[in-house]
Structure 1
Amino acid sequence: MEIVGAYSTNETAGEEQKSYVVAGAILSCSCGTQLNRLKTPLCHGVHLKEKAQMNVADYEPMVNIIPFGNCFSMLNPAVQNGEMDIEGLQKAPCVPVIAEKWAGGKEDVLIEGEPALLSDCTTFCIHGGLIQIEDDGQELDGTSVG
């Protein structure tokens, strides 16, 4: 099944368009030191520009969302016990702990029974990091992250 890449969510002039997210989208965490890509071990059977389309249930740590380099959230016990870097920032290797699905999916477009993941969806790491989508992945090929 192939669907369109973007849609208008509001008729108000000037509002940014949301877009569907595919495997390989670029993610960031507000408490991480680097970007990473959204992964999928299995395709849901829906493709957009020949890439697997994602849904709000694609949030599993170490499966869909991999570490963001180092974590500097003081809510993270590993950071509290971690070392200071040369800039005086206390940090430890990132190990995302995500308990909830992505918020803000497109409820009327279901991908394998779950709302489609949109470019403005967010989720949180229990250590305080806001995880968001920096690029929907539709136009990315071999682009390097970081």
Structure 2
Amino acid sequence: MASENEEKYGTVLGTAKYEAEKSVTDTVETVKGMGTLASNLGGYLKRDVGNAWDSLNKSPEEKAAIKEKKDAEDAKVSAEAKAAVDAEAARIKKLQDSYITHTAVILCSYAARESYLVVPTSHGELIHGIPQLNVGDSKPNINVRSFGVCMSPKNPSVQAAAKKIVADIKDKPKTFTEKVMDFFSKPPKVEIGKDLVEMCAGVCKAQIFTDWIDGKKDVLIDGKPALLGRCKLQCGYGGKIKFYTSGQREE
């Protein structure tokens, strides 16, 4: 369509005509959509009016019974939610002093999902047949398995993702309106700001150079303090790593 208009009216005028025609088409589609929405809303209104009418015709006893049933259901849901929260809090509290074993689940403050702590070779101590770990089991990829996706602004992979977004925006072909606006005013500057980087994600490549903190010093596993659920680990990109499970079978 744009090429036909350009042949008839010239490049600038032809493009403008094309944009105008496109605007009309978009408006028509929008109106059609509004008509469909209105029709759907009409159905909802009819249903809601019917429900309201039924409610008005119920006796006080029926209304009281309905309210009592709803209150009971709400109370049950609330009680179940509270019980779940309390149970999780109790589990986490118990985890703090639990010994950590192979395949314990770990979490990172900058990760999109959980990962696992593993040991390639047993240190010689087992709990229910599962290798027990020590504070030295903190090496990236060997012990600390990749979390997959990282959202730390300090991660070069995340920064690269932000740069790509900016580059894609700059390379995106401009519309006729944008070109006209650029002619009369200075184009807005596209920059890699903190807010943009914080919305991006990259590949997790943990940078860990220390042992786990706060191990059980009076229990040594292969010469190092035993690892406990309260232990923490710091990634060089700012991520704080902690345990979600101990890895023991009873969990």
Question: Do they fold alike, i.e. is TM over 0.5?
Answer: yes
Pairwise CA distance, 1:76: 1.1
**Structure 2: any 5+ residue segments left out of the alignment?**
1-92, 166-195
The 1:23/1:140 distance shift into structure 2, 3 A limit, reads farther
Match of 1:100 among 191, 210, 214: 210
Deviations 1:19-63 (A, max 9, x none): 000001000110011111111110000000110000000000010
Residue 37, structure 1, aligned to residue 147, structure 2: no
Equivalent residue, structure 2, for 1:126: 236
Write the distance in 2 (CA, Å) between the matches of 1:77 and 1:32: 15
* SS of residue in 1 equivalent to 2:209: coil
Partner AA of 2:223 in structure 1: G
Q: CA RMSD in A?
A: 1.8
Highest RCO, 1 vs 2 (Cα 8 Å, sep ≥ 6): 1
Deviations 1:83-103 (A, max 9, x none): 56xxx7201110111011000
Question: After alignment, is 66-75 or 102-111 more displaced?
Answer: 66-75
Moved more, 88-97 or 109-118: 88-97
Looking at structure 2, the residues matched to 81 and 95 of structure 1 have their Cα atoms a distance apart, in angstroms, of 14
| Mapped partners of 2:146, 2:228: distance in 1 | 21
Separation of aligned partners in 2, 1:60 and 1:77: 20
Equivalent runs, 1:1-146 vs 2, <5 Å? 16-17=93-94, 18-82=97-161, 89-139=199-249
Give aligned pairs, total. Answer: 124
Structure 1 stretches of 4+ moved >4 Å: none
Structure 1 counterpart SS, 2:121: coil
TM-score for both structures, normalised by structure 2: 0.47
Q: Between Structure 1 and Structure 2, which shows a larger proportion of strand residues?
A: 1
State the Cα distance separating 1:140 from its structure 2 match. 6.5
State the 1:139 CA deviation: 2.3
Paired with 2:153 and 2:250, the residues of 1 have a C-alpha distance of 33
Question: Identity, % of aligned pairs?
Answer: 36
2:201 alignment partner, SS class: strand
Distance in 2, Cα, partners of 1:33 & 1:99: 22
Question: Could you tell which deviates more after superposition, 102-111 or 67-76?
Answer: 67-76
Deviation of the 1:66 alpha carbon: 1.2
Q: Secondary structure at the match of 2:244?
A: strand
Distance (whole Å) between structure 2 residues aligned to residue 136 and residue 93 of structure 1: 26
What SS is found at the alignment partner of 1:19?
Answer: coil
TM-score after normalising by structure 1: 0.80
Counterpart-to-counterpart distance in 2, 1:124 and 1:38: 14
Larger Rg: 2
DSSP-derived class of the 1:132 partner:
strand
